[in-house]
Every structure is written in structure tokens, then in C-alpha cells.
Amino acid sequence: MRKAWRGVVILLATTAFFLAVVFFLIHITPQPPVVEMDQSRKALYDAQRNRADLYSKKLYNQARVFYDSAMVNWQKENKKFIYLRNFEKVARFAGLATKKATQASENSVSSASNFKVTLKQKIESLNGLTAKIDDMFETYPLTSEVRSRISKGKILLEEANVAYDKGQFLQANRKLTDSEYLLTESYEYANSNLKNYFKSYSVWRNWVDKTVKESQKNNDYSIIIDKFSRKCMIYLSGTKKFEFDAELGKNWVGDKRVRGDQATPEGMYKIVKKFDSNRTKYYKALLLDYPNEEDKEKFRADVARGILPASARMGGLIEIHGNGGKGIDWTEGCIALTDNEMDSVFRIAKVGTPVTIIGSMLDLQHVMNR
């Protein structure tokens, strides 16, 4: 019996010793930083979900480098004998990865929010620019190339707006950049062209003053055509009595230079003939004395200086006529009114009635700020 108990005691003691050794070995075995690595993986996932790879690229890349360093060192330690492993570097790199990824995520959210605001401001700014282009240059005879660039710019702006509403901010930004380039360049070109055109404003103003004074002096009618505002204004005794919408030649900006240029001339003219409805294809018409002597002299000088080729020919047959109301500039250089308005002008006009055609009654500053 004693021998049996002695055996049990020995067995228990041996087992206890063995378990103590096992627990001791487990206790001293270096443990990999699993929790720290899990935290760094989650932080990187959150950063990527918040698009830190786009909006906080530097911090995100640093976090990736620290995480990769942690993995490399973990693999390196695993190759060592179990009790010689040291995971301090792994834990340190994992902690740095978590820190940088968290910063990248927070910074990305903030940057994305600021980026979104910036994009919205740019969209609003370009919407304002397109409105200005439409207001000032919708009926201005720009080249087909410039018109095409404006059209492309507007399409890109609309596409950018759609992308923005869908949360596709980088795509929206790319389209906005292209749109801004096209619209800004086109506006600057058109604006430069307009400024150059208005260099003649002092001349126009002088013609208007003379025409109004003549109307006042003679107690009679005078007609002034304002090309920029598309207006036909009737004065009596120096006071404006009527104002009608007018349609012009397709290339109305600037003075008429040669036959077929589809430009409406500028200058001080007079009515030389009246054509009733059975004598013109344009319902009724008032023929002007274009080209007058001043026009002919300028034409000859331009040919002599080589500005115009020797083969160039002067235009003519410029009229105020009916068949207007189309809403566009469509004539070969004449001024078109609706038939009803043409009736009104035809009744008061006579051979010798002054007709002054100018670029604008308003100066450039007033035109641009209206």
C-alpha cells in the first residue's frame, strides 16, 4: 500500500514539475505582436477607404512602408530559434504604421472636404464665366474655331458637374481643368477682339452727336443703327421717338471692306431710294448711299497699301429692309427689320434722311458692366 502511494506521489510530483517547466517555457517564449499588427492593418484599411492614397499620399505611403517593415522583421524573427526571437522592432514598426495610417485617414477626410469645396467654387466660377460669354458674345461673330472651343468647354463643365454630384471628384477636377482652359482662352480672345473693335468708339460718338444735332436743327427724322445692341433708333428733332430690334450681316463687327464679306458698314449715310413691296424681294427697302466718297477713299488706300488685294471689289446695295424677325444675323450686310416695323420706318423716311451706322452707343465699360 505504501509503495502504491509512493508511486502516486512521485507521479504527481513529476507531472507538476513537467507542467511547471512547460508553463515556464511558454512564459519566456517571445510572443509576436499580433494585436499591434491587426491594429495597423485596420488603420491602413480605413485610410484606403478614405482615399488617403489620393488625398494624403505622403502619410499613407509612410504607413505602408512601416507596415511592410514590420512584416519583414516578423518573418526574419520567425526564422530564428524560438527562444532567440525578438519582436520589439515588429511592434515598433506596427505602431508607427498605425499612427501614420490614422493621420493619413484623418488628413484625407479633411483634404477631401476642402477639395470638394474648391471644386464647387470652381464650378460656380466657370458657370459665371459661361454666363458672361453668352451674355456678351452669343451674337458676336466669333470664328468657328472659337465657337467650337466654347462649346467643348461648356460640355466638359456639364460633365464635371455630373461627376461632382456622383462624388467622382478627381474625374470632376480633370474635366474642370480642361473646361477652364478652353473657356478662359476663348473669353480672353473674344474680349481682346471686342476691345480692339471699341477703339473706334470716339468716332462713333462723334457721328451720333452730329446726327442728333442735324435732326434737331432740321426738325426732321434721322436714323441711327447701333450694331452691338442690334437696335434701329428713330430720332425726330433730336429726340428718340422709336426703337426697333435689327438684324445685321453675319460678320457685322468692324467696317465693311469688300464685296461679299457679309459685313454691315459703319459711317454716316443717307437714303437715296425707296423701294415699295413690288420693287424688292425684301418686302420694302430703303437704299443707302454706300459706298460714299469716304468709303471709296478708304478702300483705295487699303488696296494701295496692300491691306486689300488689287483684285478686291467694293460692296454695295446696302439697305434697311423687311423680312426680319429671324432672331439671328443673316443678311449680306443690310439691316433687317420685321415687316410691321419696316412699315413704320418706311412711312417716315424719305430720300435724304440721314442713316448713321455705328458699333455702339455705349462705351466698352458700360457694355461690359451692363
- Tens digit of pLDDT for each residue in 93-143? 999 989 988 998 888 878 778 888 889 999 999 999 999 999 889 889 998
Predicted TM-score (pTM) of the model is 0.69
C-alpha grid cell for residue 259?
A: 464685296
Q: CATH homologous superfamily for 201-369?
A: L,D-transpeptidase catalytic domain-like (2.40.440.10)
* Among 335, 367, 353, CA closest to 265: 335
In this prediction, residue 107 carries a pLDDT of: 85
Look up cell 464650378; give the residue: 123
Considering the domain 113-198, what is its CATH architecture? Up-down Bundle (1.20)
**How many angstroms separate the Cα of 320 from the Cα of each of 168, 255, 291, 325?**
54, 17, 15, 13
Q: Which stretches within 138-264 are classed as H helix?
A: 144-165, 169-197, 201-218
Q: Omega of the bond prior to 291 within 30 degrees of 0, cis?
A: yes
- Tens digit of pLDDT for each residue in 237-274? 999 999 999 999 999 988 888 888 899 999 999 999 99
Q: 335 forms bridges with which residues in the sheet?
A: 320
* Among 274, 273, 251, 276, CA closest to 264: 251
Query: Mean pLDDT across the chain, nearest whole number?
Result: 88
Please, are residues 76 and 22 in contact by the beta-carbon 8 Å criterion?
A: no
- Tens digit of pLDDT for each residue in 351-370? 999 999 999 999 998 888 76
Concatenating the DSSP letter of every residue in 274-322 gives EE-GGG-TTSSEEEE--S-HHHHHHHHHHHHTTSS-TT-------EEES
Please, are residues 102 and 41 in contact by the beta-carbon 8 Å criterion?
A: no
In this prediction, residue 306 carries a pLDDT of: 86
Enclosing H/E stretch for 125: helix 88-137
In this prediction, residue 22 carries a pLDDT of: 46
C-beta neighbour count of 219 within 10 angstroms: 9
Close Cβ partners of 137 (under 8 Å, ≥ 6 residues apart): 190, 194
Residue 195's pLDDT band (cuts 50, 70, 90)? very high
Would you say the C-alpha torsion 72, 73, 74, 80 has a positive or negative sign?
positive
Give all strands of the β-sheet with 354-358 in edge-to-edge order: 239-245, 231-236, 221-226, 354-358, 267-275, 285-288, 319-321, 335-336
- Tens digit of pLDDT for each residue in 312-344? 888 889 999 999 999 999 999 999 999 999 999
Domain ranges of the chain: 2-110, 113-198, 201-369
